[in-house]
Amino acid sequence: MKMIKKTVLTLLLISVFTILYGCGKNATEDKNTGGESWAYNFDKTTDILNLNTDGTASYILKVYENGNQIKKKQDYTSYTKDDSYITLKEKNGNELKLRYVKTDEGIDLYEKTEYEAIVRKSENGLAGVWTDVNNSDYFYEFTEDGTFNEDGCFSGKYIVNEAEGTIRFVYDGDFPEALLYYTTEGNSLFVEYPWPMVITEKK
């Protein structure tokens, strides 16, 4: 009886150690090598950003050709990820740095767009009209009294935090607030807009 108990106990201990060791190993591998696929929350089955287990990555870029926006897959030879940025690296040394914030559903991935001032009401402030350098149908209009219009479709109030480089959009209606990051350079406004993303669902 003692021999049976000892054998059973030994087997149980081996199983526990195996499970603990295996879980720990897998968690470390996942943390270090990624293995993540992200999609926009409005199209959950289409991969936009892939962080592969072999250390490579791919990302669907929005680019313009002949005045038309197209989606183009770009492959990257490596990537790094910390608590604020995912940095995608090409073989030639070029990098794409993507800001992100964790959410309850997944992440908000920030995509950067350049706008140029068409009408500017102050040299240092945002008040005025800024249009997308690639497509004038996309624009921001900021008033001096703190209201905004986005693409002629969305409006509300905006709050600028110059120290943190952020613009908070408080939309009219039932739309959730959005926190944008921005910088200005000469007559250009660079906006990082958050796109909600979720783990890609298999079709």
**Helices vs strands, H then E, count in the chain:** 1, 15
**Does the pLDDT value for residue 159 go beyond 50?**
yes
**Does the pLDDT value for residue 193 go beyond 60?**
yes
Class for the domain spanning 34-108: mainly beta
Q: pLDDT-derived band of residue 66, with 50, 70 and 90 as boundaries?
A: confident
* Beta bridge pairs of residue 87: 80, 97
Mean pLDDT of 143-157: 97
Cα 168 to chain centroid, rounded: 17
pTM of the full structure: 0.79
Question: In this predicted structure, what is the pLDDT of residue 58?
Answer: 97
Percent of the chain with pLDDT over 70: 83
Instruction: Write a three-state SS string for 93-156.
Output: CCEEEEEEEECCCCEEEEEEEEEEEEEECCCCCCCEEEEECCCCCCEEEECCCCEEEECCCEEE
Amino acid (one-letter) located at 80: T
The residue ranges of every structural domain in the chain are 1-33, 34-108, 111-199
Give per-residue pLDDT as tens, 27-49: 223 334 459 999 999 999 999 99
> Cα separation of 195 and 39, whole Å?
10
